[in-house]
Structure 1
Amino acid sequence: MKKFLGFIIKIGFMTLLSAVLLDYFYTSVYLASDKRNKIDFVYNSKNRNYDVVILGSSRANNHFVSAMFEQKGLKTYNYGMSGGHLFEASLILKLMIERNYKIKTLILESDLNLSNEHQSEGVSAKYLPYIHSSEIVRKHFENETDFNELYYIPFYRYIKYETKIGIREVFFSMIQKKSKLLEDGGYYSLGNTKGNMKNNIVNLNPLPHNKYYEEIKNTCKANNIKFIAIMTPMCENVAGMNYFDKVKKAYPEIHNYENVVVDNKYFSSCGHMNDAGARLFTARILKDFFKK
């Protein structure tokens, strides 16, 4: 019995040691990587200067053409992230401020994600390699239900989100393989592909005081950043378009551009414009907010 218990203790010790060592190795790789996604691109940087920074979900990532801002002499980067919520947008802005970014204007895509304060697991997982090295990241996650497991159990976060931050991504980070997500000033063109051209947002309602929207707005105010919140277009076949009226009522400072581009030929899917639509939309934003 003693031998069996000793064997179990040894196995437990070796498992724990392996977890600690693997955790250290994975984390060290991420702390030296800045070419795989927009989060490590920010985390492992400092002192960047921008005239315009764009934040939001894929409806920012696919809708604001960075090169068109640059053509107007505006140093711009689109930090919109496909699948992201305001939870992640607020955190990346706080990391930028910590890294002494100088930002003149921030454009926030503020529409559908005002309806929730949840994290997007697929995007938020990419912050987890930094949960021990960054107090900002730790504090942002500490009220999440799985925080204790993610923070205190070695290597647990890498196992739980293996498809996002596991061995494949660690390998690509080690060899500094560049991601297309960082090209074109962060703008991701959907070309002329066609997806689902119907959508139903009838049951969607904006929260009256979205915590992370308010965080972004207050961070901008505290750091003298001009804050522009914008609702971006959706196609003609959407049920429940009065959602945007609800947003305007709850947040009168948000500019409603949902009907600036409506023709289906400018959309890749009902919630995402193709490249032609994005360029039409970006031209209107430049005209309205960046006249010279």
Structure 2
Amino acid sequence: MLDYSYTSIYLKSSNRNKIEYVYNSQPQNYDVVILGSSRANNHFVSEMFEQKGLKTYNYGMSGGHLFEASLMLKLMLERNYKIKNIILETDLNLSNEHQAEGVAARYLPYFHVSETVRKHFEKESDFKELYYIPFYRYIKYETRIGFREVFFGLINKKSKLLDHGGYYSLGNKKGNMKNDISTLKPLKNKYYEEIKQLCRQHNINLIAVMTPMCENTKGMNYFDKVKKSYPEIHNYENTVIEDKYFSSCGHMNDAGARMFTAKIIEDFFNKQSNIQTSF
């Protein structure tokens, strides 16, 4: 009964996070959809695309991997979204094929009602426990999908994550301004390949990009390795470099994000004839 009650609330809530926002939505038409991790969520200013007459939403999710980005796209297509262009942040997240548990957990309320969600998780090591033991997923991930979130969903309390077209701006307060990515290696990532295949099948123009990092990052040749493995991914890691435009080494502040977004719009959207499929 608890499992049924919690799930029923999630099936009516659409104000708490981007996953339920999509799952419980009607078909949408977008000129631009943005997918990726926090390096998408914090770096692409939806408002600036809208000012160009492009209906846009930033579905980037902080802490997310390509595992979750691929599933987000599958849900959109399941919901009959019409999408012209997808901007996919594809850089550090290429280095793993794992789920990001804190983000992936937000898909679990839909385990028994969505074949798309179930199939995406089928090969995960804990799939059987989460799927077959009633209420187990709500206990295991109580901080993500437990009582607090269910209560807020019940009273229809809106989250700030859905404001500003999904873009979440960071301030000027400095976090860690050093980073070392020298041990990372880009994989032939199956979830990136899934996204490319889905875009081909649905005639969506995919624009895969690497986003900036601060000057004090060690191992910046990682981006060269990505370019070598995937020549179609556009390398923008050095578009914004000064520390004053960063909130932490891997995340730009609002000023940096606006400078970066302006460059993306200039390169890909100022002339519709310049938009080309990048896979």
- TM superposition score category, shorter chain reference: over 0.9
Q: Pick the aligned partner of 1:248 from 186, 207, 227.
A: 227
Give the secondary structure class of the aligned counterpart of 1:53. strand
1:187 to 2:167 alignment: yes
Query: Which residue of the partner structure matches residue 276 of structure 1?
Result: 255
Alignment partner, residue 17 of structure 1: none
Q: Which amino acid aligns with 1:239?
A: K
Q: 2:63 aligns with which of 79, 83, 97?
A: 83
Shift in Å, 1:288: 0.2
Shift of the alpha carbon at 1:194? Answer: 1.0
User: Offset of 1:193 from its aligned partner?
Assistant: 2.0
CA RMSD of aligned residues (A): 0.4
Measure the CA separation in 1 of the matches of 2:26 and 2:123: 28
Match of 2:194 among 215, 218, 228: 215
2:137 is paired with a residue of what secondary structure?
helix
Which deviations, in whole Å up to 9, do the C-alpha atoms of 1:45-77 show, x marking residues without a partner?
121010000000000000000000000000000
Give the SS at the match of 1:230.
strand
- One-letter amino acid of the counterpart of residue 98, structure 1: E
Q: What is residue 225 of structure 1 aligned with on the other side?
A: 204
Q: TM-score, normalised by structure 2?
A: 0.97
The answer to whether structure 1 residue 286 and structure 2 residue 265 are counterparts is yes
- TM normalised by structure 1 equals 0.92
What residue is the counterpart of 1:11 in the other structure?
A: none
Letter of the structure 2 residue corresponding to residue 222 of structure 1: Q
The answer for the alignment partner of 2:275 in structure 1 is: none
* Identity score, percent: 78
Which residue in 2 is equivalent to 1:15? none
| Structure possessing the higher radius of gyration over alpha carbons | 1
Counterpart in 1 of 2:246? 267
AA in 2 matched with 1:275: D
More helix by share: 1
Aligned to 1:147: 127
Instruction: For 1:182, give the aligned amino acid.
Output: L
Distance in 2 separating the partners of 1:192 and 1:70: 25
Provide the C-alpha distance between the structure 1 equivalents of 2:173 and 2:240, rounded to a whole number of angstroms.
17
Query: Which SS does the other structure have where 2:33 is aligned?
Result: strand
Q: Distance in 1 between matches of 2:262 and 2:172?
A: 18
SS of aligned partner of 2:125: coil
SS at match of 1:81: coil
Which of 109, 116, 120 lines up with 1:136 in the alignment? 116
Q: Which residue of 1 aligns with 2:214?
A: 235
Say how many residue pairs are matched.
271
Counterpart residue identity of residue 137, structure 1: V
Q: 1:159, 1:131 → 2: CA distance? A: 15
Q: Distance in 1 between matches of 2:43 and 2:224?
A: 21
Matched, 1:30 2:40: no
Distance 1:232 1:282 in 2: 10
Paired AA for residue 152 in structure 1: Y
Partner Cα distance (1:237, 1:79) in 2: 28
- The offset of 1:291, in angstroms, is 1.2
Q: Which runs of 4+ in 1 moved over 2 A?
A: none
Q: Name structure 1 gaps, 5 residues minimum.
A: 1-20
Letter in 2 for 1:96: M
Amino acid in the other structure paired with 1:264: D
CA distance in 1, matches of 2:270, 2:173: 32
- CA offsets 1:86-128 (integer angstroms, 9 cap, x no match): 0000001000001000000000000001000000000000000
AA aligned to 1:232 is: T
Secondary structure at the aligned position of 1:249 is classed as: helix
Secondary structure of 1:154's counterpart equals: coil
